[in-house]
Amino acid sequence: MPEKHSRRQMLKQVATAAMAATALPSLAASLSSTHSSSTMLKGNIHHSACAWCYPNIPLDDLCKAFKAMGLEAIDLLDPPQFATAHKYGLDCGIVASINKDWDIYRGWNHIEHHDPLVEYYYHMIDETANAGFKNLICFSGARKGLDDEQGLLNCAAGLQRIMPYAEKKKVTIVMELLNSKKDHHDYQCDHTAWGAALAQKIGSNNFKLLYDIYHMQIMEGDLIRNITDYHAYIAHYHTGGVPGRHELDDTQEIFYPAVMRAIVATGYKGYVAQEFVPTEKDPLSALKRCVQICDV
Protein backbone atom coordinates (compact mmCIF):
# COMPACT_ATOMS: atom_id res chain seq x y z
CA MET A 1 0.00 0.00 0.00
CA PRO A 2 1.21 3.57 -0.54
CA GLU A 3 3.18 5.15 2.31
CA LYS A 4 0.57 7.82 2.86
CA HIS A 5 -2.04 5.13 3.50
CA SER A 6 -0.44 3.30 6.44
CA ARG A 7 -2.33 0.12 7.37
CA ARG A 8 -1.62 0.73 11.02
CA GLN A 9 -3.12 4.21 10.85
CA MET A 10 -6.08 3.09 8.81
CA LEU A 11 -6.86 0.10 11.04
CA LYS A 12 -6.90 2.36 14.10
CA GLN A 13 -9.34 4.62 12.30
CA VAL A 14 -11.56 1.68 11.40
CA ALA A 15 -11.62 0.56 15.02
CA THR A 16 -12.62 3.99 16.30
CA ALA A 17 -15.03 4.94 13.53
CA ALA A 18 -17.88 3.10 15.23
CA MET A 19 -18.01 5.85 17.85
CA ALA A 20 -18.77 8.47 15.23
CA ALA A 21 -22.38 9.52 14.80
CA THR A 22 -21.99 9.64 11.04
CA ALA A 23 -19.47 8.28 8.54
CA LEU A 24 -19.71 9.40 4.95
CA PRO A 25 -22.56 11.57 3.68
CA SER A 26 -23.42 8.80 1.24
CA LEU A 27 -22.98 5.92 3.69
CA ALA A 28 -26.62 5.38 4.62
CA ALA A 29 -27.71 5.35 0.99
CA SER A 30 -24.82 3.12 0.05
CA LEU A 31 -25.58 0.59 2.78
CA SER A 32 -29.24 0.59 1.86
CA SER A 33 -28.39 -0.10 -1.76
CA THR A 34 -25.89 -2.78 -0.83
CA HIS A 35 -28.37 -4.53 1.45
CA SER A 36 -31.22 -4.49 -1.06
CA SER A 37 -30.18 -7.88 -2.39
CA SER A 38 -27.20 -10.15 -1.99
CA THR A 39 -24.93 -10.21 -5.00
CA MET A 40 -24.86 -13.54 -6.78
CA LEU A 41 -21.23 -14.44 -7.47
CA LYS A 42 -19.94 -17.28 -9.63
CA GLY A 43 -18.05 -19.10 -6.88
CA ASN A 44 -14.75 -19.54 -8.74
CA ILE A 45 -13.13 -16.75 -6.73
CA HIS A 46 -13.55 -16.50 -2.96
CA HIS A 47 -13.80 -12.77 -2.33
CA SER A 48 -12.59 -10.64 0.56
CA ALA A 49 -11.67 -6.97 1.04
CA CYS A 50 -9.34 -5.08 3.36
CA ALA A 51 -10.90 -3.19 6.25
CA TRP A 52 -8.21 -0.48 6.32
CA CYS A 53 -9.36 0.91 2.96
CA TYR A 54 -12.65 2.14 4.50
CA PRO A 55 -11.59 4.14 7.58
CA ASN A 56 -14.78 6.21 7.76
CA ILE A 57 -17.17 3.25 7.87
CA PRO A 58 -17.78 1.60 11.26
CA LEU A 59 -16.66 -2.03 11.27
CA ASP A 60 -20.18 -3.32 11.93
CA ASP A 61 -21.51 -1.49 8.89
CA LEU A 62 -18.57 -2.61 6.81
CA CYS A 63 -19.13 -6.26 7.71
CA LYS A 64 -22.84 -5.96 6.88
CA ALA A 65 -21.99 -4.48 3.49
CA PHE A 66 -19.35 -7.11 2.73
CA LYS A 67 -21.75 -9.90 3.60
CA ALA A 68 -24.50 -8.40 1.44
CA MET A 69 -22.12 -8.21 -1.53
CA GLY A 70 -21.37 -11.91 -1.26
CA LEU A 71 -17.92 -11.50 0.24
CA GLU A 72 -16.83 -14.39 2.43
CA ALA A 73 -14.12 -12.63 4.43
CA ILE A 74 -12.62 -9.36 5.59
CA ASP A 75 -8.84 -8.83 5.64
CA LEU A 76 -6.30 -7.42 8.08
CA LEU A 77 -8.24 -7.40 11.31
CA ASP A 78 -6.64 -7.24 14.74
CA PRO A 79 -7.78 -9.59 17.54
CA PRO A 80 -10.14 -7.02 19.18
CA GLN A 81 -12.03 -6.90 15.87
CA PHE A 82 -12.42 -10.67 15.44
CA ALA A 83 -15.76 -10.84 17.28
CA THR A 84 -17.34 -8.39 14.84
CA ALA A 85 -16.33 -10.53 11.86
CA HIS A 86 -17.77 -13.59 13.60
CA LYS A 87 -20.98 -11.70 14.32
CA TYR A 88 -21.62 -11.34 10.59
CA GLY A 89 -20.40 -14.78 9.57
CA LEU A 90 -17.21 -13.52 7.93
CA ASP A 91 -13.84 -15.21 7.92
CA CYS A 92 -10.72 -13.09 8.34
CA GLY A 93 -8.82 -13.75 5.13
CA ILE A 94 -5.52 -12.76 6.69
CA VAL A 95 -4.88 -11.49 10.21
CA ALA A 96 -2.91 -8.25 10.74
CA SER A 97 0.38 -8.20 12.65
CA ILE A 98 1.39 -4.55 12.76
CA ASN A 99 1.61 -2.87 16.16
CA LYS A 100 3.69 -0.22 17.91
CA ASP A 101 6.75 -2.49 17.84
CA TRP A 102 6.49 -4.37 14.55
CA ASP A 103 5.80 -3.09 11.08
CA ILE A 104 6.72 -3.66 7.45
CA TYR A 105 10.28 -2.36 7.94
CA ARG A 106 11.15 -4.19 11.17
CA GLY A 107 10.85 -7.84 10.24
CA TRP A 108 12.47 -11.25 10.15
CA ASN A 109 15.52 -10.39 8.05
CA HIS A 110 17.47 -8.92 10.97
CA ILE A 111 18.56 -11.43 13.59
CA GLU A 112 18.27 -8.95 16.47
CA HIS A 113 14.49 -8.98 15.93
CA HIS A 114 14.10 -12.75 16.18
CA ASP A 115 13.61 -13.27 19.92
CA PRO A 116 10.87 -10.65 20.39
CA LEU A 117 9.25 -11.60 17.07
CA VAL A 118 9.10 -15.25 18.07
CA GLU A 119 7.34 -14.27 21.31
CA TYR A 120 4.93 -11.98 19.48
CA TYR A 121 4.10 -14.50 16.77
CA TYR A 122 3.46 -17.29 19.27
CA HIS A 123 0.85 -14.98 20.76
CA MET A 124 -0.61 -14.04 17.37
CA ILE A 125 -0.70 -17.67 16.22
CA ASP A 126 -2.78 -18.45 19.32
CA GLU A 127 -5.11 -15.51 18.65
CA THR A 128 -5.54 -16.54 15.01
CA ALA A 129 -6.13 -20.21 15.76
CA ASN A 130 -8.50 -19.55 18.66
CA ALA A 131 -10.64 -17.41 16.36
CA GLY A 132 -10.76 -20.17 13.75
CA PHE A 133 -8.80 -18.17 11.17
CA LYS A 134 -6.03 -19.61 9.01
CA ASN A 135 -3.63 -16.94 7.70
CA LEU A 136 -1.35 -14.58 9.66
CA ILE A 137 0.66 -11.94 7.81
CA CYS A 138 4.37 -11.31 8.26
CA PHE A 139 6.99 -9.08 6.65
CA SER A 140 10.62 -9.46 5.67
CA GLY A 141 11.65 -6.01 6.91
CA ALA A 142 13.91 -3.46 5.24
CA ARG A 143 17.31 -4.51 3.89
CA LYS A 144 19.34 -1.84 5.72
CA GLY A 145 22.46 -3.02 3.90
CA LEU A 146 21.70 -6.75 3.86
CA ASP A 147 22.17 -8.48 0.54
CA ASP A 148 19.31 -10.69 -0.64
CA GLU A 149 21.07 -13.98 0.19
CA GLN A 150 21.82 -13.03 3.78
CA GLY A 151 18.37 -11.52 4.24
CA LEU A 152 16.81 -14.77 3.05
CA LEU A 153 18.96 -16.87 5.38
CA ASN A 154 18.11 -14.62 8.34
CA CYS A 155 14.38 -14.74 7.58
CA ALA A 156 14.47 -18.52 7.29
CA ALA A 157 16.37 -18.93 10.57
CA GLY A 158 13.88 -16.81 12.47
CA LEU A 159 10.71 -18.15 10.88
CA GLN A 160 11.77 -21.78 11.32
CA ARG A 161 11.58 -21.16 15.07
CA ILE A 162 7.81 -20.58 14.88
CA MET A 163 6.84 -22.98 12.10
CA PRO A 164 6.38 -26.09 14.30
CA TYR A 165 3.94 -24.13 16.47
CA ALA A 166 2.14 -22.71 13.43
CA GLU A 167 1.83 -26.22 12.01
CA LYS A 168 0.49 -27.53 15.31
CA LYS A 169 -2.12 -24.74 15.42
CA LYS A 170 -2.95 -25.07 11.69
CA VAL A 171 -2.02 -21.45 10.99
CA THR A 172 -0.19 -20.39 7.81
CA ILE A 173 2.41 -17.64 8.18
CA VAL A 174 2.13 -15.51 5.04
CA MET A 175 4.85 -13.06 3.98
CA GLU A 176 3.67 -10.20 1.82
CA LEU A 177 5.39 -9.32 -1.44
CA LEU A 178 5.66 -5.51 -1.62
CA ASN A 179 7.25 -3.17 -4.12
CA SER A 180 10.43 -1.39 -3.07
CA LYS A 181 10.40 0.83 -6.15
CA LYS A 182 7.70 3.30 -5.11
CA ASP A 183 5.82 2.57 -1.89
CA HIS A 184 8.10 0.58 0.43
CA HIS A 185 11.67 1.57 -0.31
CA ASP A 186 14.32 -0.94 0.81
CA TYR A 187 11.78 -3.70 1.62
CA GLN A 188 13.47 -7.04 1.01
CA CYS A 189 10.68 -9.42 -0.06
CA ASP A 190 10.06 -7.49 -3.27
CA HIS A 191 10.26 -10.22 -5.94
CA THR A 192 8.25 -13.41 -6.30
CA ALA A 193 11.33 -15.55 -6.93
CA TRP A 194 12.93 -14.36 -3.66
CA GLY A 195 9.77 -15.17 -1.71
CA ALA A 196 9.53 -18.61 -3.32
CA ALA A 197 13.18 -19.30 -2.52
CA LEU A 198 12.49 -18.38 1.12
CA ALA A 199 9.53 -20.76 1.20
CA GLN A 200 11.72 -23.52 -0.20
CA LYS A 201 14.38 -22.81 2.41
CA ILE A 202 11.87 -22.88 5.27
CA GLY A 203 10.39 -26.13 3.96
CA SER A 204 6.96 -25.94 5.60
CA ASN A 205 3.54 -26.03 3.95
CA ASN A 206 2.52 -23.52 6.62
CA PHE A 207 4.73 -20.78 5.20
CA LYS A 208 3.56 -19.11 2.01
CA LEU A 209 3.33 -15.76 0.24
CA LEU A 210 0.78 -13.00 -0.10
CA TYR A 211 0.94 -12.10 -3.79
CA ASP A 212 -0.10 -8.47 -3.95
CA ILE A 213 -0.97 -7.90 -7.61
CA TYR A 214 -0.58 -4.12 -7.34
CA HIS A 215 2.91 -4.36 -5.85
CA MET A 216 4.13 -7.08 -8.21
CA GLN A 217 2.89 -5.22 -11.29
CA ILE A 218 5.03 -2.26 -10.23
CA MET A 219 8.02 -4.38 -9.28
CA GLU A 220 8.25 -7.04 -11.96
CA GLY A 221 5.13 -7.27 -14.13
CA ASP A 222 4.64 -10.60 -15.95
CA LEU A 223 1.79 -11.28 -13.55
CA ILE A 224 0.18 -14.28 -15.21
CA ARG A 225 3.45 -16.11 -15.80
CA ASN A 226 4.61 -15.56 -12.23
CA ILE A 227 1.26 -16.60 -10.75
CA THR A 228 1.35 -19.74 -12.88
CA ASP A 229 4.98 -20.57 -12.07
CA TYR A 230 4.88 -19.82 -8.34
CA HIS A 231 1.28 -20.59 -7.37
CA ALA A 232 2.34 -23.43 -5.06
CA TYR A 233 3.91 -20.85 -2.76
CA ILE A 234 0.97 -18.42 -2.72
CA ALA A 235 -1.67 -18.50 0.03
CA HIS A 236 -3.42 -15.17 -0.56
CA TYR A 237 -3.92 -12.41 -3.14
CA HIS A 238 -4.53 -8.66 -2.92
CA THR A 239 -5.69 -6.36 -5.72
CA GLY A 240 -5.23 -2.69 -6.53
CA GLY A 241 -5.18 -0.50 -9.62
CA VAL A 242 -1.85 0.56 -11.10
CA PRO A 243 -0.94 3.39 -10.93
CA GLY A 244 -2.22 4.77 -7.65
CA ARG A 245 -3.76 1.72 -5.92
CA HIS A 246 -7.27 2.92 -6.72
CA GLU A 247 -10.31 1.35 -8.38
CA LEU A 248 -9.88 -1.44 -10.93
CA ASP A 249 -11.18 0.64 -13.82
CA ASP A 250 -10.09 1.71 -17.29
CA THR A 251 -7.69 4.34 -15.91
CA GLN A 252 -5.26 1.66 -14.75
CA GLU A 253 -3.07 -0.81 -16.60
CA ILE A 254 -3.94 -4.26 -15.22
CA PHE A 255 -6.64 -6.28 -16.96
CA TYR A 256 -7.96 -8.02 -13.88
CA PRO A 257 -10.30 -10.57 -15.52
CA ALA A 258 -7.31 -12.23 -17.22
CA VAL A 259 -5.32 -12.26 -13.99
CA MET A 260 -8.26 -13.78 -12.12
CA ARG A 261 -8.69 -16.48 -14.77
CA ALA A 262 -5.01 -17.34 -14.36
CA ILE A 263 -5.49 -17.66 -10.59
CA VAL A 264 -8.52 -19.92 -11.06
CA ALA A 265 -6.57 -22.06 -13.56
CA THR A 266 -3.97 -22.87 -10.86
CA GLY A 267 -6.68 -24.52 -8.72
CA TYR A 268 -6.38 -21.85 -6.04
CA LYS A 269 -9.11 -22.07 -3.36
CA GLY A 270 -8.11 -19.24 -1.02
CA TYR A 271 -9.23 -15.62 -0.94
CA VAL A 272 -8.69 -12.76 -3.36
CA ALA A 273 -9.05 -9.54 -1.36
CA GLN A 274 -9.72 -6.10 -2.78
CA GLU A 275 -7.13 -3.67 -1.42
CA PHE A 276 -7.64 -0.46 -3.35
CA VAL A 277 -8.06 3.01 -1.86
CA PRO A 278 -11.42 4.32 -3.12
CA THR A 279 -11.54 7.70 -4.80
CA GLU A 280 -15.28 7.73 -5.45
CA LYS A 281 -17.92 9.37 -3.29
CA ASP A 282 -19.57 6.00 -2.69
CA PRO A 283 -16.74 3.61 -1.78
CA LEU A 284 -18.99 0.61 -1.24
CA SER A 285 -20.46 0.86 -4.72
CA ALA A 286 -16.91 1.05 -6.06
CA LEU A 287 -16.01 -2.06 -4.07
CA LYS A 288 -19.02 -3.96 -5.36
CA ARG A 289 -18.12 -3.11 -8.94
CA CYS A 290 -14.48 -4.17 -8.48
CA VAL A 291 -15.55 -7.47 -6.92
CA GLN A 292 -17.73 -8.12 -9.95
CA ILE A 293 -14.82 -7.32 -12.29
CA CYS A 294 -12.77 -10.00 -10.51
CA ASP A 295 -15.61 -12.53 -10.36
CA VAL A 296 -14.68 -14.63 -13.39
In the chain, DSSP assigns E strands to 46-49, 73-74, 91-92, 135-138, 172-176, 207-212, 234-238, 271-274
Could you tell me the CA-to-CA distances from 67 to 81, 90, 125, 198, 251 in Å, in that order?
A: 16, 7, 26, 35, 28
* Contact partners, residue 48, CB within 8 Å, separation at least 6: 66, 71, 72, 73, 74, 75, 91, 93, 271, 272, 273, 274
pLDDT at site 39: 60
Distance CA 290, CA 240 (A): 10
Q: What's the CATH code, domain 46-294?
A: 3.20.20.150
Give the chain's residues under pLDDT 70.
1-39
Residue-wise pLDDT for 127-169, tens only, equals: 999 999 999 999 999 999 999 999 999 999 999 999 999 999 9
What integer pLDDT is reported at residue 7 of this predicted model? Answer: 53
